Amino acid sequence: MMPFIPKRPSVPAPRHTGETSRPQTDKTTVARPGTTLWTLAAEHLGGDATDWEIAQEWPRWHRYNQDRIGQDPDGLRPGTILRLPPPSAR
């Protein structure tokens, strides 16, 4: 079975330079049943985010909230209050 390897986007978007596609009004979000770091990152990046961008973003969510999630990114539990990571400085 071949692993999924997302492709780098061909056209740069503003978020590639660290700009968010949505204004950050809330500094936290609450994990609901079925929430994953992937879905949180995808939602935060916006509907036009590519798989590559999401694959780059969700580990930032884990690192920024590791004290709340634990070492295993799959350890995210419903009800966990997560901090939104600051915009990346790429």
**Coil, strand or helix at 44:** helix
pLDDT of 16 > 70? The answer is: no
pLDDT, residue 29, reads 93
The residue extents of the domains of the chain are 27-83
Closest CA to 23 of 87, 89, 90: 87
pLDDT tens-digit series, residues 47-69:
999 999 999 999 999 999 999 99
What is the C-alpha to C-alpha distance for residues 82 and 87, in angstroms, rounded to an integer?
A: 15
Quote the strand ranges of the chain, DSSP E: 28-30, 81-83
| Domain 27-83 = CATH 1.10.3470 | no
pLDDT of 18 > 80? The answer is: no
Q: What would the two tokens of residue 8 be? A: 């780098």
